[in-house]
Amino acid sequence: MHKLTAAVMGVAVGSAVHAAPAQSHQEIPEMERVKACWDRGDGVLTGEERFMNTAPSRDTDWAMPRGGANVVTLLDNGPTDKRVDLVFVGDGYTVDELDLFHQQVDNFVSTLFQVEPFKSYKSHFNIHRVDVISNESGVDHDPTLGILRDTALDMGFWCQGNSDVERSLCVDSAKARSFSALAPDDDQVIALGNSTKYGGAAFIGTQVACVSAGRASAPLTLQHELGHSFFNLEDEYNSGGPVTYTGPEFGRKNISVFDAQEQLDLQTKWWYMMGESVEGFDGPTGAFEGGGHSRFGIYRPSLNSKMRSSARPFNLVGVENGILAIYNAGGTFSLWDDVTQPWLGEFYGHDHEFFVEPIHPDSHELAVWWQLGVDVIPGKTGPRLHLCELQLQPGEYNLIVKVRDDTPWILSEYVREQSLTRNYVWRVIIETQPADRTADGAVDFDDVLDFIQDFSAQDESADLAEPFGVINATDVLEYLNRFTAPCG
């Protein structure tokens, strides 16, 4: 149930977009791009990439879960349209092995949130577990090719017999998605196989990641596969493909046919990160030859990131892609949970209070500020603003709240303004004067003198209270109230 973006309601940078709750299941492509990766023995990954049929099932009832399944939400940080919903499903777990599945899921969740950027952005995630029960324990082609088992998701090594690589552990993604759809939402599906044999894969088109759950290194394998299916990253190791790559430029950001100088000259890919280092991430950033399964003709951003060796941290390109994926998965309103409604609504008078509830990452708070049109309101950086505090003169105003993620891990201010900044706008109409009669931005004795002069002259601007049309003591009391307590 991938989240769908609906009515576009904003303007300029950080435009406001409403995310409609997704109710229909994600469409499964006819052919899926699958990436399988494993440790070649020296800590560096190797693997393969192939396209495979969507549903290579041996049975015909793959479209829907058989009998449903128990669903448990393990982490609830907020509404599904504002969070990344990770859903764990299992294959090859009999009813007597569900406790093992639960323990393994808990271990994967705990390990995942020890790694950046998952750790710092944990508040943006919901975690769900779907207890899928299989008739037989284990997965296909384990320990050897040709062994078949009756399991719910039809997971198997040798990519279910479709590959000549033993460690490619693939799942019927349509079945995995049909079970994950039982959860409140499923932005990313994680399919665990009940096996101790090394294996894993990432399904690029349907955001499904697979891993053999019984190995100690499995959480690291999963993090790498999530780099593919969730962060939209390519492999950065140099084996499994042609020795020299001679094809076109890649769409994904973390590999390129251009070296460092060419990227700088063309201002393409990660050119603005060249030479940069941030503690905790693989660096410094450069252009290192070898990646995307080839030794020559392809460049990667750092020497040895998680997309090359699973035990390593992500590099700066990876973490940028990861943060953008986290925000985009929850819809483009995912910088906040709630805000005063409606957008571009008309609010009359200065007694209204406006608010925004940002979704702060665990590591830092989002920046919040308020504007009247293009002018920043000095000192207003909190989540609430009482309009009367501004002492606005009669007129029409655009009140704007802006929210931005100032994480130092994003090195491009263009990227920050485009993808990590959001605004919300209201139309404010003031028809009567507040206490600042001189319109100098300060409520002081000069305003009192101005009112006394207008009151003495019976000027209509001193007519502040009912009965209107008569300037008397009630107008004096009203002005004193505004002067002493403008916000009540």
Which pLDDT tens digit goes with each residue over 17-33?
A: 222 233 344 566 667 88
Residues contacting 404, CB < 8 A, separation 6+: 14, 335, 366, 367, 416, 420, 421, 422
Structural contact between residues 402 and 309, judged by C-beta atoms closer than 8 angstroms: no
pTM of the model: 0.85
Dihedral over Cα of 129, 133, 138, 140: its sign = negative
Kindly state the average pLDDT of the residues 236-247.
94
Structural contact between residues 147 and 101, judged by C-beta atoms closer than 8 angstroms: no
Kindly state the average pLDDT of the residues 122-142.
95
What pLDDT, on the 0 to 100 scale, is given for residue 21? 33
Kindly state the average pLDDT of the residues 364-381.
97
pLDDT one-digit tens code per residue, 458-483: 999 899 888 989 999 999 998 888 88
What pLDDT, on the 0 to 100 scale, is given for residue 14? 33
Q: For residue 400, is pLDDT > 60?
A: yes
Q: What's the mean per-residue pLDDT of the chain?
A: 88
**Band (238; pLDDT cuts 50, 70, 90):** very high
**Band (331; pLDDT cuts 50, 70, 90):** low
Q: Which residue has the tokens 């890649």?
A: 250
Kindly state the average pLDDT of the residues 355-372.
97
**Band (330; pLDDT cuts 50, 70, 90):** low
Kindly state the average pLDDT of the residues 143-151.
91
Residue (of 51, 392, 20, 315) closest to 205 by Cα position: 51
Q: Which domains does the chain have, with CATH numbers?
A: 19-230 (3.40.390.10), 336-430 (2.60.40.10), 445-484 (no CATH)
